[in-house]
Structure 1
């Protein structure tokens, strides 16, 4: 699986439990697999993010149509005030994203890049990721297929916020991250810390 989407729901305050129940009961549409579900803890609050993998472009497009036409995402529309859906392709050197237990928090970091810089970014990440992932795992790096482009998403799990700060500081100090030449091609950076829902396959 190399095609993914994220569905980020902005939910009414105090309704996370109801949203999670609906998400658990909603099942997987044809050709898709639920990989993760998280709620925001640091950054923009009131967000529930769902990550799904797709077997084909057709499966992704069909699910996008269904989501739009039904207008009741995951059966929890009554608790939702906004929906953001984004499609991604995995950086080609990375293995498919699989369910696993990693730790207490997940950092969703989105970068914008200069025009014509995406391939350079993929190449730079390919060189740097092996050393960086000796410090902590990378769930996935994916470039966006829609919306504001070019941009890409990194998903990093950590045991805690303190562990995240320590590992990132050590990686920078040791010169293994960020990738050599990578920052010069970036235009924006945005990070949100998420906590896995109890039923999330990635947690």
Structure 2
């Protein structure tokens, strides 16, 4: 499995519990696997993000069509004010994303790269990730197949915000991160801290 999507709902204040219940009941459609569900805690608030994996391109396209035509994502239409859907392909050297328990927070980092720089970015990450993941795990890094491109998403779990700060500072100090030559190819950076929903397979 190397195709994924994120569905990010902007939810009305005080509706998280009902949104979680509806997502848990409806996210796993045929050909899809629910991998994670989180709510934003630092960054843009009022967001609930769902991560799903797909068995095939046909399954991804079919689910996208269903989501759009039904117009009621995860049965949460009455609780949401906006929806953003993005499709991704996993960096080819990484293993498929699997459910696991990692800790209290997840950082979702989105980078826009310069035109013609995506393959360079993948190659740079291929060289740097083995040493970086000795410090803390990487859930996945994947490049966008739609929307504003080229860009990529990477998902890092940590036990706490303090652990995140410590690990990142040590990786920079030791010269193992960011990947060599990587920053020169970036044009935008965005980061949001999410907390897993109670039922999230990734937590």
1:54-73 matches, within 5 Å, as 54-73=54-73
Equivalent position of 1:138 in the other structure = 138
Equivalent position of 1:176 in the other structure = 176
- 1:123 is paired with a residue of what secondary structure? helix
Cα distance, 1:17 vs. partner?
A: 0.4
Equivalent position of 2:89 in the other structure = 89
Cα distance, 1:71 vs. partner?
A: 0.5
Equivalent position of 2:79 in the other structure = 79
Unaligned runs of 5+ in 1: none
| Distance in 1 of aligned mates of 2:76 and 2:114 | 37
Cα distance, 1:25 vs. partner?
A: 1.2
4+ residue runs over 2 A deviation: none
- 1:189 is paired with a residue of what secondary structure? strand
Equivalent position of 1:104 in the other structure = 104
| Distance in 2 of aligned mates of 1:108 and 1:116 | 23
Cα distance, 1:64 vs. partner?
A: 0.2
| Distance in 2 of aligned mates of 1:141 and 1:23 | 24
| Distance in 1 of aligned mates of 2:93 and 2:124 | 11
Cα distance, 1:93 vs. partner?
A: 0.1
Query: Does structure 1 residue 3 correspond to structure 2 residue 3?
Result: yes
| Distance in 1 of aligned mates of 2:163 and 2:27 | 34
Unaligned runs of 5+ in 2: none
- Residues 16-70 of structure 1 show CA distances to partners (whole Å, capped at 9, x for unaligned) of 0010011111141110000000000000000000000000000000000000000
- 2:148 is paired with a residue of what secondary structure? coil
| Distance in 2 of aligned mates of 1:114 and 1:25 | 40
- Residues 143-176 of structure 1 show CA distances to partners (whole Å, capped at 9, x for unaligned) of 0000000000000000000000000000000000
Equivalent position of 1:22 in the other structure = 22
CA RMSD across the alignment: 0.4
Cα distance, 1:84 vs. partner?
A: 0.1
- 1:152 is paired with a residue of what secondary structure? strand
Equivalent position of 2:50 in the other structure = 50
- TM-score normalised by the chain length of structure 2: 0.99
How many equivalent pairs are there? 203
Equivalent position of 2:191 in the other structure = 191
- 2:13 is paired with a residue of what secondary structure? coil
